[in-house]
């Protein structure tokens, strides 16, 4: 890992909060992510399962965390299984956790080699009634490939037919919504690195620069500041490229008069930043671009004011959509008749996207920034962590 060590107290407290939500006589299992094959004998760069990392701090493949707060023997209430290394692995892949290093990173004292798993777990299963398994419960997740946690859950259900199975997802989702002070510092670090990359790019952008050259400047800054790399595939979209919502080719020349939509963020210690900004290639907005930029800014400020206790996501989306409609109407990009004939039961944001073909490409990048909530930075606003705040131009 490139990042500096994290205080294990974070993971100790995360586990304490987590086990307080388990039913009596319950055991919980969390698995490391698969090592994903890239081509031939090469794998993609490894990325740990966020749930396992949240509860253990272990950033290594082939790891299993077992939590059994009602175990008869105290040494089995928190168990960490890690991959046993050898001379061959050390030469080919590098250093792996020793047991002492795993204890220091996680705060878990009962650390075993993965080889010991089958000699310990069957004994514990006789003393529990509920089995909590971890699944990918992201609303947008879809994959034809069965991932490790899914295969694990299927295997456990086939063996322990008399036990009750429970979902970990809802418990972790409620816990992770409230950030520990240590987590906030890690998030801030990811955002500070992203800010430095953005300011670096501002000095670099000029007519004739290729989108991939801007991407190269960003990753250079990320790596030199100890980030894992990009938190997600970066979007560097100039001119008409911004008409593609998830444009990743980043291969067009940035031309004078264009606006560049940049959507990128650093990942530091498995915590992600997310930044979107629109900047003029020539260094100065045209009057029309300035009008659109300020419209986006007003929507962002209005949307941020709505982030108050008691509001709902559904109501929030509708109200933000109405702000957007008003701004687009003032800009002359839609008409009142467009609003009257918009798709019934369709949120204002999606209705705006349906009208998008009539919007010219030099304005589309900024409009899309509103329509996809890219300029909102809602997550960071909630933690008072907004940085590089856009200003009226």
* Contact call for residues 229 and 44 (beta carbons, < 8 A): no
Query: What value does the mean pLDDT take over residues 96-102?
Result: 96
CA 81 from centre of chain: 26
- Residue 373 in this model has a pLDDT that exceeds 80: no
Same domain, 96 and 238: no
Same domain, 106 and 221: no
Alpha-helix residue ranges (DSSP H) falling in the chain: 9-19, 50-56, 87-92, 99-106, 117-125, 148-159, 169-176, 181-204, 211-224, 287-305, 313-331, 336-340, 348-354, 361-371, 378-382
Task: Determine, yes or no, domain membership for 322.
Answer: yes
Contacts (Cβ under 8 Å, ≥6 apart) of 254: 205, 206, 207, 208, 209, 210, 211, 214, 238, 239, 260, 281
The CA-atom distances, in angstroms, between 368 and each of 183, 239, 243, 349, 356 are 31, 12, 8, 10, 9
- Final residue belonging to a domain, choices 176, 203, 219: 176
Same domain, 160 and 19: yes
- Residue 221 in this model has a pLDDT that exceeds 80: yes
* Contact call for residues 12 and 57 (beta carbons, < 8 A): no
Burial class (CB in 10 A: 0-12, 13-18, 19+), 103: middle
pLDDT at position 56: 98
Total domains present in the chain: 2
Structural domain that includes position 337? 181-382
- Residue 178 in this model has a pLDDT that exceeds 90: yes
CATH number at residue 130: 3.40.350.10
Tell me which H or E stretch contains 65.
strand 64-67
- Final residue belonging to a domain, choices 155, 176, 197: 176
Same domain, 130 and 260: no
Give residue-wise pLDDT tens across range 275-300.
999 999 999 999 999 998 899 899 99
Beta-carbon neighbour count of residue 261 at 10 Å?
A: 25
């Amino acid at each position: 890992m490139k990042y500096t060590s994290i205080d294990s107290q974070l993971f100790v407290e995360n586990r304490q909060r987590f086990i307080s939500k388990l039913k009596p006589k319950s055991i919980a299992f969390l698995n490391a992510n698969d090592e994903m094959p890239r081509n031939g004998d090469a794998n993609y760069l490894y990325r740990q399962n966020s749930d396992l990392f949240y509860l253990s701090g272990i950033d290594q493949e082939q790891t299993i965390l077992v939590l059994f707060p009602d175990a008869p023997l105290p040494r089995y209430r928190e168990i960490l299984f890690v991959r046993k290394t050898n001379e061959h692995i050390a030469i080919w892949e590098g250093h792996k956790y020793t047991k002492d290093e795993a204890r220091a990173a996680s705060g878990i004292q009962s650390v075993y080699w993965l080889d010991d798993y089958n000699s310990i777990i069957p004994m514990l299963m006789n003393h529990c009634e509920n089995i909590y398994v971890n699944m990918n419960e992201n609303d947008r997740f879809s994959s034809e490939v069965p991932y490790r946690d899914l295969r694990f859950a299927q295997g456990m259900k086939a063996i322990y037919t008399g036990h009750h199975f429970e979902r970990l997802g809802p418990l972790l989702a409620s816990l992770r919504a409230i950030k520990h002070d240590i987590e906030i510092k890690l998030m801030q670090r990811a955002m500070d690195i992203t800010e430095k990359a953005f300011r670096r790019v501002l000095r670099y952008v000029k007519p004739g620069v290729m989108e991939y050259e801007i991407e190269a400047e960003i990753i250079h800054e990320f790596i030199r500041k100890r980030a894992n790399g990009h938190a997600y595939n970066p979007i560097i979209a100039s001119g008409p490229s911004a008409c593609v919502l998830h444009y990743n080719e980043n291969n067009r020349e940035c031309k004078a008069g264009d606006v560049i939509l940049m959507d990128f963020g650093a990942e530091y210690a498995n915590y992600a930043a997310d930044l979107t900004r629109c900047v003029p290639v020539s260094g100065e907005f045209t009057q029309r671009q300035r009008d659109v930029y300020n419209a986006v800014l007003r929507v962002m400020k209005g949307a941020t004011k709505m982030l108050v206790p008691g509001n709902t996501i559904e109501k929030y989306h509708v109200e933000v959509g109405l702000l957007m409609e008003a701004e687009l109407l003032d800009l002359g990009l839609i008409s009142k008749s467009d609003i009257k004939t918009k798709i019934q039961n369709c949120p204002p944001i999606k209705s705006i996207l349906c009208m998008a073909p009539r919007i010219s490409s030099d304005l589309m990048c900024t409009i899309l920034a509103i329509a996809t909530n890219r300029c909102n930075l809602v997550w960071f606003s909630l933690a008072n962590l907004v940085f590089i705040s856009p200003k009226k131009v």
